[in-house]
Amino acid sequence: MNDSMVHGLSRRALMRNGLVTAIGAIVAVAALPEFTGSALAADPDNYMQIITTANFSNYHCQSNWWYCIKCSGSYHSGNNTAGGVCPAGGEHQNNTSYTKYCLPHDGAALPTDSIGDGVQAGWRWCAKCQGLFWGSAQAESTCPAGGHHAITSGTYTYDLAYGQPELWLIINGGGSTQITGQTDWLYCGKCRGLFYGHGGTADGVCPAGGTHSQYSGSSNYIMIPYFSESSV
């Protein structure tokens, strides 16, 4: 879970070179899972751009990721409220007033810059429980559906931003709008999944027993809400 430190391009240099254009107003969201959001229009030309002081990369985003109000983990479901297998029992559960998240994929990992921002590639979806886990630790993981989390061939490898990089929604047809992600998402050293810490280092229900507990080398990850073009 460690990342090397690098130095490089500043955001101002990226702007001078035309890598960010038509800047819109910053779209802010609240600090807890209870903030609301709406789905980005289903258009392949819409994508995220994540910028650190060292570099930048473009990412497609997959919608229908949610916060589970029972276990405090993250999971994927197309029906907006429930799905998968929850370590607290039954299916994962969301609330219709909670936001839908967008998980970046198909971009480049950005090593930690001089102020601690970056993007870590290698997060995977578990086909058994529908949760998100660190792919390199599959053999040490614990799945609430039994055994280890499963990596399915042909599925995305996700890229999670950490620290406080700049997040931009690139709108189809030109233009970009800076948005704010949600911090305090942590890597659990027990089950190897991602959970929301509510500002602390432990929370929810872990399939390995007890509560989720932050891994000693975990970054502070960012989950990105989906926005519709009409909302920005």
pLDDT digits (tens, 9 = 90+) for 36-88: 333 333 344 468 899 999 999 999 988 889 999 999 999 999 866 789 999 99
Residue 100: per-residue pLDDT: 85
Beta strands in the chain (DSSP E): 47-51, 56-67, 74-76, 82-83, 92-93, 101-105, 118-125, 132-134, 158-162, 166-170, 176-179, 182-187, 194-196, 202-203, 212-213, 221-225
Lowest mean pLDDT of 26-30, 48-52, 60-64, 150-154, name the range: 26-30
**Structure-token pair, residue 62:** 């997959």
**Structure-token pair, residue 86:** 């929850």
Distance CA 90, CA 151 (A): 22
150 or 229: which leads in pLDDT: 150
Lookup result for tokens 């990105």: 224
**Burial letters for 99-119: b for 16+ Cβ neighbours within 10 Å, e otherwise?**
bbbbbbbbbeebbbbeeebbb
pLDDT at 35 over 50: no
Beta bridge partners of 124: 133
